[in-house]
A and B are shown apart, each in its own frame.
Chain A
Amino acid sequence: MKLGTKLTLFNTISKLVIVILFVLLLPTLIRDINQHYTDNWLRKQKEKVLKIVKGPGIKNYIQNGESYGSYNALLKEEYVSLDVESGAGNIDTILNEKRLVEGDTIEYRILSHTFKVDKQKYLLEIGKSIDTINETTTPLQNIALEVLLGMVLLTILADQVYATYVLRPLGLIIKTKLIGHKFPHHTPYKKVRTTTSDFEYLDISIHKMIETIENTFQKEREFISNASHELMTPISILQSKIENMFEREDIIDEVKVRLLEMQKILNRLKSITKTLLLISQIENEQFLKEDKISVDLLIHEVYDEISIRLQDKNINCEINIPHDWFLVKVNKFLLFNLFFNLINNAIKYNKEGGEIKITGVLQNKLLAVEITDSGIGISSEQLPHIFNRFKKFSQSLQQDSFGLGLPIVKSIADFHRIKIEVKSEPGSGSTFKIIFPDGVIRA
């Protein structure tokens, strides 16, 4: 999951949890606040009543021991009552209690207070109906919820916008410096604009690392290229010397056979050097990709070159490629070598009288050529290493190859963005699937 998404998700969830908690607590909170307010109000009323009672005298309200009561008439939301209290002890409480008022049982918040006037104890009760108190609770709760939700949405939005803004350089670093980064990579360093020092540090570090890796790559490539070039001249001199000696009349046949052996060894050296040079030239992108060729024609050209080897081992080769498949913007020389090496391997590692099938297939809308042989196959431990330079597996074949056939194939494939998939069953054969990228092949 992306960092930005994670941050937004966390923000949203944490805020929602807080809001839900708050909303759940809201009824209790509001009730408490209301009660507190009501109690205060009741106490103020009490003070007022006591003042009134002190002024004109209690006798105005209580005559002949009859209690006094006052309600606001219709809804009975509040009431005040004064009565003679006979019980011992003082009462000064605020409680929720039910009262029967004119036939209706109504729950009130009631302040009870006893006081003495002229040695007579009186009980004052001031009540406010609970329903009235609660009436304000629901709208308050609703308003609070709406305001809160609105604020939460606003902050989430603000967070999102800010996170996107702050994380943009990171996205840019990932997009331009890491995703799809291929070696060699010749584009110069482009600073990602950011005011966040962490990102700046990350950007510079990545750049330095890439630079180091590229320098090493470059040095290795230069070394291979220079070494191969430098080897060409001495090989050339040796080859000429052997060839000239071979022509001399005064040299006996026995020496000539020796010269021939030298020539063979020199050829081996020459092949290795030439192959390394080719690989380094491909990796240095010294080849143009400007050819357009029919796949079928190319494979048949390879077939013509290689048919003598098929005959020699009595191998049947079947080619089945649609005539209208064309490769565009490729290097024909390199692709010829790619197919030559793959088909040559299919012959080399095949059984006497074996079979090779070269078929054009469609894989996930991409065109591919499959080369299947009935040869000795590759074991699953060897499979990941077959494209490594100088890796050889089959001991019996050590005499005529040096393990650079597949590395050439790999370099050429990479140069053309061709993907190669290998499947193999030891003992029954291998399949190499050459998958062409979009735009290189046209059907």
Chain B
Amino acid sequence: MTIAEIQDEIIDEFSMFDDWEERYQYMIDLGKTLPLIDEQYKTEDYIIRGCQSKVWVHAEMNADKVIFTADSDAIITKGIIAILIRVFSDQHPKDIIESHTEFIDQIGLKEHLSPTRANGLVSMIKQIKMYAIAYQTQLN
């Protein structure tokens, strides 16, 4: 599936929730269940230090696609990471570079991507794009 298709799928899923509680419970469950990163990458080298929560991101190439894994010490942040990974991982670097993140807005989680939130997610998205740019350069 393309990035846009996955985003539409997520928007569809979230449209089934009636209120914030269901939305957040879903994210919390996502955060709890997904194995997100190999322990060996939960080090200073891969950390994005938010004021509120920490995020670890690791990227590697598999054929011509980027595989992202990530984690956070806060469960709601982790739930959003799970969504971001579903969207951006296993995609071609060029597609990642050209993609947008407006879908976050549409699923009612915009506030988590506000810089004042300082939870590391804004930097994480930047980092995802940076990795994609770096890998795209290699492919060229």
Whether chains A and B associate is no
A interface residue numbers (CB < 8 A to B): none
B interface residue numbers (CB < 8 A to A): none
